[in-house]
């Protein structure tokens, strides 16, 4: 997605060869116009798949997931990282390890919001090692729901998550695919082959 690539080039900060910071439009401050365009693009990609629910992970997945949900006119559910006081015990849980933060935590979704009648589109902000996606897939499986695919805002192709998921036949659509963050520069995949 051209507008997203331009925004990453303009405002993304390369923190290391492994990590890109996009706090100014996705992970802290949020650009609603860009989010709307992303929602339209995810909806275009998955419109024919009969999606009934979008599943994401708090907090950074919520903005793009909500915009896609608005376009597809389906509810958006976000997995929680902390169990609130009001949460019933009737939940699906999965474990997610973050290589970026070197933390492991449980994610929680209420059984009331995901059932075996759902066709689920998972959306997340980044795809790196695929651990967040795996946790969400685990929850879709526990619910007995169907997985339509995974929509990612920024995939880092030099980390193994995308390949691992696609090699299992899972449809993964990424709006921007980064080939490399070497030398403080963002190179997109299609540029590498241009």
Residues 6+ away with beta carbon under 8 Å from 191: 179
Kindly determine how many residues on this chain lie close enough to bind ligand 5GP according to the rule CB under 6 A.
Answer: 19
Q: Does 128 bind ligand 5GP (CB under 6 A)?
A: yes
The residue within the footprint of ligand 5GP, chosen from 1, 3, 19, 30 (CB under 6 A), is 19
Q: Is 20 annotated as a binding residue?
A: yes
Q: How far is the CB of 155 from ligand 5GP (least distance, A)?
A: 9
Q: How far is the CB of 192 from ligand 5GP (least distance, A)?
A: 18
Query: Per this entry, what is the length of the chain?
Result: 194
The residue within the footprint of ligand 5GP, chosen from 4, 8, 14, 20 (CB under 6 A), is 20
**Which residue's CB is nearer to ligand 5GP, number 52 or number 126?**
126
Q: Does 126 bind ligand 5GP (CB under 6 A)?
A: yes
> In the stretch 152-191, what mask flags binding to ligand 5GP with x, by CB under 6 A?
---------x------------------------------
Distance of CA 142 to the CA centre of its chain: 19
The residue within the footprint of ligand 5GP, chosen from 42, 46, 92, 129 (CB under 6 A), is 129
Q: Is 92 annotated as a binding residue?
A: no
- Binding region: 20, 27, 128-132, 156
């Amino acid at each position: 997605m051209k507008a997203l690539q331009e925004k990453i080039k303009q405002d993304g900060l390369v923190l290391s060869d492994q990590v890109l910071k996009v706090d100014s439009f996705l992970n802290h401050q949020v650009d609603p116009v860009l989010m709307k365009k992303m929602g339209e693009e995810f909806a275009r990609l998955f419109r024919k798949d009969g999606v009934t629910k979008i599943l994401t992970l708090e907090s950074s997945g919520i903005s793009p997931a909500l915009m896609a949900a608005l376009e597809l006119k389906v509810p958006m559910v976000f997995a929680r990282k902390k169990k609130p006081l009001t949460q019933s015990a009737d939940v699906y849980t999965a474990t997610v390890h973050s290589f970026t933060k070197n933390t492991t935590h449980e994610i929680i979704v209420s059984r009331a919001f995901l059932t075996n009648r759902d066709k689920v589109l998972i959306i997340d902000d980044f795809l790196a090692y695929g651990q967040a996606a795996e946790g969400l897939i685990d929850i879709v499986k526990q619910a007995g729901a169907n997985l339509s695919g995974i929509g990612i805002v920024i995939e880092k192709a030099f980390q193994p998550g995308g390949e691992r998921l696609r090699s299992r036949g899972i449809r993964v659509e990424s709006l921007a695919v980064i080939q490399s963050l070497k030398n403080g520069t963002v190179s997109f995949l299609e540029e590498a082959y241009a």
